[in-house]
Amino acid sequence: MAPFFSILPVLSLLPLLSSAAFTDTLPLRSSLSVEKHQIDILRSPNGTFTCGFHSIYNNAFTFSIWYTDLVNDTVVWTANRDRPVHARGAVMTLRKGDALVLTDYDGTVVWQTEGDLAGVQYAQLLETGNLVLKNSRGMVLWQSFDSPTDTLLPNQRINAATKLVSTTGLHVPGGNLKQDLS
């Protein structure tokens, strides 16, 4: 009976070990991998949003932001909505000089951030659901809120030039919708 009782303290720690300590930041020269899509994620500090590889159908993933606790994982932003990546070998990397770059299993660049991104030091998923790239002073150099898909979040600003991109259930572009704010 002694071996049975000695294992009880270890079993009581299992819930703590299984709940990984998620982070909201991705440092320069770091990656998120599709193979570890359930744990290789960014989580907003308040836990409301998750960012990483989201399964859209068998062996196909998008790099997305979604509500963490909703039953159907409601996606609020997607980088590669028109070009899913394979279930093996795809990575999202914060490269020096290139910012965020999504590559598929064969190394093909599927999506990347654009703009003047010199000095990017880390990516961060904010409590608002906005994925941002920041420099060493914490200044935002790029943000997902500037390229909305078909969901607008509270605190997400839009203007007359903002284009919302609709998607079908299969994540195939349904066309661009220009919001008329005049």
Question: Taking 80 as the threshold, does the pLDDT of residue 13 lie above it?
Answer: no
Alpha-carbon distance of 22 to 86, in angstroms, equals: 24
Question: Taking 60 as the threshold, does the pLDDT of residue 12 lie above it?
Answer: no
Identify whether the C-beta of residue 54 lies closer than 8 Å to the C-beta of residue 38. no
Question: Taking 80 as the threshold, does the pLDDT of residue 63 lie above it?
Answer: yes
Question: Taking 80 as the threshold, does the pLDDT of residue 11 lie above it?
Answer: no
Q: Domain containing 104: what range?
A: 25-146
Asked if the structure places residue 160 within a domain, the reply is: no
Residue of 91 and 166 predicted with greater confidence: 91
Mean pLDDT of the 123-131 span? 96
pLDDT category, 116, cuts 50, 70, 90?
Answer: confident
pTM comes to 0.77
Asked if the structure places residue 17 within a domain, the reply is: no
Asked if the structure places residue 89 within a domain, the reply is: yes
pLDDT recorded at residue 20: 57
Q: Which residues, 6+ apart, have CB-to-CB distance to 68 below 8 Å?
A: 43, 44, 47, 48, 49, 50
Q: How confident is the model over 133-143, as pLDDT tens digits?
A: 999 999 999 99
Alpha-carbon distance of 72 to 93, in angstroms, equals: 27
Mean pLDDT of the 152-166 span? 73
pLDDT category, 17, cuts 50, 70, 90?
Answer: very low
pLDDT recorded at residue 78: 93
What CATH number is attached to the domain comprising 69?
2.90.10.10
Nearest CA among 70, 31, 27 for reference residue 50? 70
Asked if the structure places residue 158 within a domain, the reply is: no
For the sheet containing 140-143, what is the strand order? Answer: 25-27, 122-125, 131-134, 140-143
**DSSP assignment of 153-181:** -TT----TT-EEEEE-TT--EEEEEE---
Asked if the structure places residue 179 within a domain, the reply is: no
Q: Which residue has the tokens 């009976």?
A: 1
pLDDT category, 178, cuts 50, 70, 90?
Answer: very low
Asked if the structure places residue 92 within a domain, the reply is: yes
Question: Taking 80 as the threshold, does the pLDDT of residue 54 lie above it?
Answer: yes
Domain count, the chain: 1
Asked if the structure places residue 164 within a domain, the reply is: no
Label the pairing between strands 109-112 and 99-103. antiparallel
Dihedral, CA atoms, 88, 101, 51, 117, nearest 10 degrees?
170
Asked if the structure places residue 80 within a domain, the reply is: yes
Tokens of 85: 């990546």
**DSSP assignment of 15-83:** HHHHS---BSEEETT-EEEGGGTTTS-EE-TTSSEEEEEEEEETTEEEEEEEESSSTT--EEEESSTTS
